[in-house]
Structure 1
């Protein structure tokens, strides 16, 4: 079986490194996590033999969301976490809601643990997803609450930029948080927002909008 080792700061980065070497997509491989620390993740990515017996989880009638839900439930049990997992009705992309008591540790500082859980989920379910398709994992509607918070941060930053005329670089944020910032400010005629840096340290810069050239 053809395989490659990948290393990166995050699980996604490590898998992508191996996929580039193998020249394969996520739907055609299995991923095994060899090591995971705060500084580096190491994975082994193996190409699935199309002639080998298929032992993957069969897709149930209600589809990919149920596959992901079952895998996350199993993962949480192995982690010793008692929680309920459901597929959010009518959500696009597919979103899993995790609910229960005392789940703060599953979210982590600024959602870092939740982001890692989402990355693991997408790796585990990857072969069932279309190219570019992603599974969103949420805990007790954390993402919704966090989006509300970062929109308030965006408004405060915009007010300060208008007062001082100087650009502001915000703290590093997850992709969904940066998107909330951009959406909150896209209609403001006086400020602009842009993202700089590389994951996981990518940040939003809020600055004054330059007048259009006449």
Structure 2
């Protein structure tokens, strides 16, 4: 992309200075084209015309990104910052160097990622084409890549050993690609992305899917779904006293269910002399009066 401006002045030098001022660059950064030479007035009163000079600079997407970052750092009070641009295919890697600029990275690179995103938007407006900007400070990207690669392989091995899926924390697309690449090196493991927007994250699991936990068999597996665990606590008042528990069982199993309305009973105690001779109820005769 070419940026240009036309400067006017009594002399060519003054016209160049005017054009550079309009472009916002120094004279050594621009190229010049003289459009009109100055013409002096006749007798110092009539005619005459100023000089016209065209100043232009060729701005690349990376240069536009660097200029934007300089303005941002200036507003943040960061000075003495150097930018090293390394051109890549359809993009550029911009390394930032300076003193006490580690805070620009932010928590897990969040601030650096935000600046990278904004600089990418500026660079894409230069030629209206996709141009990828990558920012780096103190080899942070390389160190982060190593950390994520180790994490991806470690979680893939764990997923195969246990037979379960594991979800990682939300990451940006660049870091998710690193995880996917690392998991591909582990045979039998796979990875995919879930979630939307800022909550999108990587899930790692076995290719064959999750295994059922040991010792748990469902109704279709031949086991009893309602089988009680050996250490499961028994229900309260089971087979014992009926204080606050379920309704008591009728002594005569063959009789009809007890009525819902309460009844009054009178018990006549009879001494039990011999168990073998006793044929009546265990606790005596019961007469029911409704």
- Counterpart of 2:141 (choices 143, 155, 165) is 143
Matches of 1:129 and 1:195, distance apart in 2: 32
Distance 1:101 1:56, change over 3 A: closer
Distance 1:136 1:129, change over 3 A: farther
1:136 alignment partner, SS class: strand
1:154 alignment partner, SS class: helix
1:81 alignment partner, SS class: coil
Matches of 2:89 and 2:124, distance apart in 1: 19
Unaligned runs of 5+ in 1: 1-54
> Deviation per CA, 1:10-55, whole angstroms, max 9, x where unpaired?
xxxxxxxxxxxxxxxxxxxxxxxxxxxxxxxxxxxxxxxxxxxxx8
2:94 alignment partner, SS class: strand
- Counterpart of 1:80 (choices 70, 77, 82) is 77
Match of 1:103?
Answer: 101
Match of 1:186?
Answer: 184
Distance 1:60 1:146, change over 3 A: farther
Matches of 2:145 and 2:127, distance apart in 1: 26
Shift of 1:182: 0.7
Q: Is the 8 A contact 1:162 1:208 kept in 2?
A: yes
2:203 alignment partner, SS class: strand
**Structure 1 consecutive aligned stretches of length 4 or more whose deviation exceeds 6 Å:** 55-59
Q: Is the 8 A contact 1:60 1:67 kept in 2?
A: no
1:166 alignment partner, SS class: coil
Match of 1:67?
Answer: 64
Q: Which has the larger radius of gyration?
A: 2
> Deviation per CA, 1:42-85, whole angstroms, max 9, x where unpaired?
xxxxxxxxxxxxx8999954722122112212221121113211
> Deviation per CA, 1:142-190, whole angstroms, max 9, x where unpaired?
1111111000111110121111010100111121111111111223221
> Deviation per CA, 1:119-145, whole angstroms, max 9, x where unpaired?
221233331144433222222221111
User: How high is the TM-score relative to the length of structure 1?
Assistant: 0.65
Unaligned runs of 5+ in 2: 1-22, 31-55, 210-290
After superposition, the CA RMSD in angstroms is 2.7
Distance 1:65 1:71, change over 3 A: same
Matches of 2:75 and 2:155, distance apart in 1: 42
Match of 1:18?
Answer: none
- Counterpart of 1:201 (choices 199, 202, 225) is 199
Whichever structure has more helix as a proportion of its residues is: 1
Q: Is the 8 A contact 2:61 2:131 kept in 1?
A: no
Larger displacement relative to structure 2 (154-163 or 128-137) = 128-137
- Counterpart of 1:160 (choices 135, 158, 178) is 158
Q: Is the 8 A contact 1:72 1:85 kept in 2?
A: no
Q: Is the 8 A contact 1:60 1:66 kept in 2?
A: no
User: How high is the TM-score relative to the length of structure 2?
Assistant: 0.49
State the aligned residue count.
158
Distance 1:129 1:190, change over 3 A: farther
Matches of 2:90 and 2:98, distance apart in 1: 23
